């Protein structure tokens, strides 16, 4: 493992830093960044768009995208360096573009045609087009291949019927990557096909789901005889599983970033809190929790260094990135828990004028979702056991069975 930037990496960091210093201010540790990040106020979209355009014009959007598709043709290492620098600045983040930029377009680069990609790439880079991921269903979440939304060929079109759920950003998305079942006589992973869906097509209905944080981060999406032209198919008919895996690997890799509150923020709060028993930092139980969170944050930092070293040597990180997502979501939840405790009674209030603008209270409400989205803790543990440690596979009774013959209920139908 190498802790230093390569000479090229150091040069890239210097330029990225100069760009950020020119356009934004450094984020103070008590700014409550996480509170504003998840805000689904429509004005937040406009602010995020404006920043996305500035980034795109300066060449810091689509860093790893091919040059022929308006990207920079840069390396993943450069992308990580930019993100590390950007994380220190107070910019209008919002949660609008990450699916389009980070995992939908890279899926198109691999599985779509040039004409289709060119229709979208420039708009996605500048934040003018938003994408969502239409994978999970009531019948298929962790076991994604159990999904039931149907795709039936009709001339040059496909007709889609069914339902998706937990679709992040579906309510303001322009397009989505959809996976649907085109053949029930094949084993469950084999009869699937992926498409680009225009979210404004007739027959698409998006119903936001209200979460306990008060936001509607995700949605139910219903399809009633929705038509998709075959030219918007991704990959071959029946290759949907492979296409979906491209998207999911990009998703898990992206989720390793450190989400606020980070250690600096929780430590800052503890340093400035006096409990009934005295200064919070003198309390042995709080010191123990802080030490534990510090160790995890350091573990994440060094695991990220290991990934960066691998990338700088031209290697591709594999299933071990699941470790980062697993540790990160637990760290996030426990930091939010400790932060809310330190506020004592007011830890239950979530107001804009609260100390740190309700960062910890808000994180307390959204952090459980981090342990589910992009693969639950248990599924990530399975991945680590099977693909990193080489342990025996989880029991899979439906392996090789035609989808139509898999029992779905107590009657076996
Ligand atoms: C914030 C958030 C955003 C999301 N965004 C999207 C999105 O944009 N698009 C999208 O398609 N989906 C999205 N999802 C859905 C997400 O991918 C699913 O929630 C996830 O895959 C789990 O599926 P499920 O909810 O159906 O739970 P289930 O699969 O029903 O799991 C229920 C429980 O059983 C456990 N379990 C299941 N199988 C196993 C097993 N083999 N071994 C051990 N334990 C197991 C799980 O760990 C979990 O605890 C999002 C979810 C969240 C929370």
Lookup result for tokens 């620098």: 85
Q: How many angstroms does the Cα of residue 137 sit away from the middle of ligand 1?
A: 9
- Ligand 1 close to Cβ of residue 369 (< 6 A): yes
- Ligand 1 close to Cβ of residue 64 (< 6 A): no
Strands 150-154 and 157-165: antiparallel
- Residue among 85, 129, 137, 251 flagged as catalytic: 251
Is the domain of 230 the same as that of 263? Answer: no
Are residues 150 and 240 in contact, defined by beta-carbon separation less than 8 angstroms?
Answer: no
Q: How many angstroms does the Cα of residue 374 sit away from the middle of ligand 1?
A: 8
Domain presence at residue 9: yes
Length of the chain: 413
**DSSP string spanning 250-298?**
HHHHHTTSPPSS-HHHHHHHHHT-EETTEEGGG-HHHHHHHHHHHHHHH
> Within its chain, how far is the Cα of 15 from the centroid?
27
Is the domain of 259 the same as that of 370? Answer: yes
Is the domain of 192 the same as that of 236? Answer: yes
On the CB side of 226, how many CA atoms lie within 13 Å of its CA? Answer: 25
CATH number for the domain spanning 298: value is 1.20.140.10
Domain presence at residue 115: no
Cβ burial of 316 (10 Å; 0-12, 13-18, 19+) is exposed
Distances in Å between the alpha carbon of 402 and those of 9, 150, 410? Answer: 50, 15, 19
Strands 89-90 and 175-181: unpaired
Are residues 147 and 191 in contact, defined by beta-carbon separation less than 8 angstroms?
Answer: no
Domain presence at residue 114: no
Q: In the listed set 208, 242, 276, which residue is the last one of a domain according to the structure?
A: 242
> Within its chain, how far is the Cα of 206 from the centroid?
20
Atom of ligand 1 nearest to the CA of 135: 11
106-158 pLDDT tens trace: 999 999 999 999 999 999 999 999 999 999 999 889 999 999 999 999 999 99
Domain presence at residue 377: yes
- Ligand 1 close to Cβ of residue 19 (< 6 A): no
Q: In the listed set 242, 275, 290, which residue is the last one of a domain according to the structure?
A: 242
Domain presence at residue 147: yes
Task: Name the domain count of the chain.
Answer: 3
**Domain membership of residue 153 as a residue range:** 132-242
Contact partners, residue 162, CB within 8 Å, separation at least 6? 137, 148, 149, 150, 180, 222, 223
Q: In the listed set 66, 95, 124, which residue is the last one of a domain according to the structure?
A: 95
Domain presence at residue 79: yes
Q: What is the DSSP letter of 393?
A: P
Contact partners, residue 413, CB within 8 Å, separation at least 6? 407
pLDDT in the model for residue 353: 67
Q: How many angstroms does the Cα of residue 372 sit away from the middle of ligand 1?
A: 5
Atom of ligand 1 nearest to the CA of 376: 47
CATH number for the domain spanning 173: value is 2.40.110.10
pLDDT in the model for residue 411: 52
* Residue 381 confidence (pLDDT) above 50: yes
Domain presence at residue 405: no
Is the domain of 383 the same as that of 267? Answer: yes
Active site includes 251? yes
Is the domain of 71 the same as that of 9? Answer: yes
Q: Which long-range contacts (CB under 8 A, 24 or more apart) does 140-143 make?
A: 141/166, 142/375, 142/376, 142/378, 142/379
Is the domain of 166 the same as that of 60? Answer: no
Lowest mean pLDDT among 35-39, 87-91, 274-278: 35-39
Domain presence at residue 398: no
Is the domain of 190 the same as that of 271? Answer: no
Lowest mean pLDDT among 17-21, 29-33, 67-71, 239-243: 29-33
Is the domain of 262 the same as that of 227? Answer: no
Is the domain of 137 the same as that of 76? Answer: no
Task: Read off the pLDDT band of 252 (50, 70, 90).
Answer: low
215-236 pLDDT tens trace: 888 999 999 999 999 999 999 9
CATH number for the domain spanning 11: value is 1.10.540.10
- Ligand 1 close to Cβ of residue 112 (< 6 A): no
Is the domain of 227 the same as that of 298? Answer: no
Token digits of residue 348: 């239950």
- Ligand 1 close to Cβ of residue 135 (< 6 A): yes
170-197 pLDDT tens trace: 999 999 999 999 999 999 999 999 999 9
């Amino acid at each position: 493992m190498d802790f230093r930037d390569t000479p090229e990496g150091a040069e890239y960091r210097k330029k990225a830093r100069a760009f950020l210093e020119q356009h934004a201010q450094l984020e103070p540790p008590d700014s409550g960044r996480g509170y504003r990040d998840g805000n689904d106020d429509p004005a937040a979209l406009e602010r995020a768009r404006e920043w996305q355009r500035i980034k795109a014009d300066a060449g810091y959007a689509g860093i790893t995208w091919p040059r022929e598709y308006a990207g920079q043709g840069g390396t993943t290492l450069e992308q990580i360096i930019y993100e590390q620098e950007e994380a220190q600045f107070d910019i209008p983040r919002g949660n609008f573009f990450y699916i389009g930029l980070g995992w939908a377009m890279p899926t198109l680069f691999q599985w779509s045609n040039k004409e289709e990609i060119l229709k979208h790439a420039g708009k996605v880079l500048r934040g003018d087009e938003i994408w969502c991921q239409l994978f999970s269903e009531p019948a298929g979440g962790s076991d994604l291949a159990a999904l039931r939304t149907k795709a039936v060929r009709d001339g040059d079109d496909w007709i889609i019927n069914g339902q998706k759920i937990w679709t992040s950003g579906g309510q303001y998305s322009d397009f989505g990557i959809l996976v649907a079942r085109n053949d029930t006589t094949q084993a469950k992973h084999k009869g699937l096909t992926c498409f680009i869906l225009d979210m404004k097509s007739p027959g698409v209905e998006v119903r936001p789901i209200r979460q306990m944080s008060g936001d509607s981060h995700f949605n139910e999406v219903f399809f009633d005889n929705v038509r998709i032209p075959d030219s918007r198919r991704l990959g071959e008919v029946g290759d949907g599983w492979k296409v979906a895996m491209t998207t999911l690997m990009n998703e898990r890799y992206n989720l390793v970033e450190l989400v606020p509150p980070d250690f600096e923020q929780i430590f800052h709060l503890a340093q400035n809190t006096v409990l009934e028993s005295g200064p919070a930092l003198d309390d042995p139980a709080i010191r123990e929790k802080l030490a534990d969170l510090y160790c995890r944050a350091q573990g994440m930092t060094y695991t990220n260094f290991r990934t960066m070293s691998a990338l700088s040597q031209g290697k591709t990180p594999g299933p071990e990135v699941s470790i980062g997502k697993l540790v990160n979501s637990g760290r996030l939840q426990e930091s939010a828990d400790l932060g809310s405790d330190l506020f004592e009674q007011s830890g239950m209030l979530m107001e804009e004028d609260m100390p740190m603008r309700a960062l910890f209270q808000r994180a307390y409400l959204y952090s459980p979702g981090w342990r589910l989205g992009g693969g639950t803790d248990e599924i990530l543990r399975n991945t680590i056991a099977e693909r990193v440690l080489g342990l025996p596979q989880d029991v899979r009774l439906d392996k090789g069975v035609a989808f139509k013959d898999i029992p779905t209920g107590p009657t076996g139908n």
